[in-house]
Amino acid sequence: MSQNSESFEQWMSREAKAEAMIPIVGRLYRDNNVVTSIHGRSLINKSTMQILKAHRFARRISQRELTLEDTLPLVEAIDRLELGAAAVDLALLNEKYHDTAAGRPLEEFLREELAPVVGRQGADDRTSQDVVLYGFGRIGRLLARILVEKHGGGQGLRLRAIVVRKGSDNDLAKRASLLRRDSVHGPFEGTIQVDEESQTITVNGIRIQVIYSDSPSTVDYTAYGIENALVVDNTGRWRDAEGLSQHLQSKGAARVLLTAPGKGDLKNIVHGINHGVISDEDMIVSAASCTTNAITPVLKAINDKFGVLHGHVETVHSFTNDQNLIDNFHKGDRRGRSAALNMVITETGAAKAVAKALPELAGKLTGNAIRVPTPDVSMAILNLNLENGTTKDEVNEYLRELSLHSGLRKQIDFIDSPEVVSTDFVGSRRTGIVDGLATIANDKNLVLYVWYDNEFGYSCQVVRVMEEMAGVNPPAFPAA
């Protein structure tokens, strides 16, 4: 057999194994509320080719080959264990098996590792939480996509309604069209139906009420069967407790989450860093900004190991809706100049906002931003002076390990490809991706380059905060 024939035969074998995984992954999700992933990348509703690419991507992350010969037996054995609701990372589970239990029967290892949910056959101890999206712009629509994807058996976060101001007679159809088609993130994976009579959009079988209102305080959510709702304000119109508390005057609204930096005494939450400070008494919480979410986990990691004396954060940020497409009046400095034609220096509060989530860095960081003519994905350049010296290899290995085996693995990603550019990170679910080849370390001077999808990556963080507020996280395996 020629090398070409042998290579093709191997490919066909891998393809067949990926095809065999699809119904098992789907059955685990539908019948058991089990979400399977590879290094945090969900396998739910993925095609054969997407599953193959996820396995290939794992090699970039862990420098260890992840094969279908590893994962297919894993999901088959998991399927036989009749699990209750859980989130299972196949790549991490496979690594743990080979590192700590090689030689033991696979199913014996899995019974022990997944013991809390074995034999519970779809049992889900989580309560459901009604969610309302107040506003349906860039972040609102991405939140809707993620919430629909995570709907599962209906427990956990349940998207019940969106609230917008009516823009035209065919407003409902236009809202649905914007959800269906996205110039940056691509088409929605699923079906969308519009019912003008009931003013609803049904997305993959999930019926979402569209409510028109000009005020956050006058909506009666209970009229639509919505109770104790978590209202996610993604308009950015109100940033303080006084403005956001208007939501709590509406019947059926219980708590509020702001998808922007909060002002005053509002808790600014970066999931993975300070989500543990959310209490049942917090009626209004902020999910901070996209940049704050991107840089805080990396800064914490560096500060914990090397100590940060002071530093400067420069963000190269994609333009946003508050800028003008062509030159026109804008109340902000420089933002009136064409976003599509210019690099625009502007201020950012992200560096100072880090201290709200990470008080030990208070007063140690300065920051600035340059808006550039790209629609999505940004970069933060962290120029840091350290207490303890280090090398490029040491820093990179440390951050790579954190991206795989730490409590920050949902936030920090790591890559060392010499060919990646910004569009390669569209859709990243991590909040910050360290570009290892760009790292500069000169003893106590360290420069890190951190990519981030300022839309989707941030939206994933928002959903994590929502799950924390609602207390609806499923148990995750293997434990960090």
CA distance 56 to 396: 21
Task: Please list, in sequence order, all residues whose beta carbon lies within 8 angstroms of the beta carbon of residue 249, skipping any fewer than 6 positions away.
Answer: 216, 217, 218
CA distance 286 to 352: 15
Pairing of β 284-286 and β 267-268: parallel
CA distance 37 to 52: 13
What is Dmax (Cα atoms) for the chain? Answer: 74
Instruction: Respond yes or no: is residue 460 known to be catalytic.
Output: no
- Active-site entry in 211, 229, 256, 290: 290
CA 396 to chain centre: 23
- Comparing CA positions, the residue from 382, 368, 361, 270 lying closest to residue 308 is 361
* Residue 59 neighbours by CB distance under 10 Å: 12
Pairing of β 440-452 and β 378-390: antiparallel
The answer to whether the bond into 297 is cis (omega within 30° of 0) is: no
CA distance 354 to 413: 19
CB-facing half-sphere around the CA of 113: CA atoms within 13 A: 28
- Comparing CA positions, the residue from 280, 236, 273 lying closest to residue 258 is 236
Q: Which residues are catalytic?
A: 290
